[in-house]
Amino acid sequence: MAETIKARVLLVDDEKDFIETLSNRLQIRGLTVSTSTCGQDALKLIEKEKFDVVVLDLTMPGMDGLETLKKLKETAPDTEIIMLSGHGTIQASTEAIKLGAEDFLEKPLDLPKLLEKISEAKDKRILISQEKATEAIKEILKNRAW
Kindly list the averaged pLDDT for each block of 10 residues, start to end, along the chain of length 146.
77 97 96 97 97 96 96 95 88 93 94 96 88 89 78
Q: How many domains does the chain have?
A: 1
* Contact by Cβ (8 Å): 107, 86: yes
For 77, other C-beta atoms within 10 Å of its C-beta total: 9
Entry pTM: 0.88
Is 2 part of any domain? no
Q: In angstroms, rounded to a whole number, what is the distance separating the alpha carbons of residues 82 and 10? A: 10
CATH number where 36 lies: 3.40.50.2300
- Measured CA angle at 121 (ends 116, 122), to 5 deg: 100
Q: Are 85 and 97 a contacting pair, CB within 8 Å?
A: no
Does residue 1 sit within a domain? no
Nearest-angstrom CA–CA distance, 104 and 111: 14
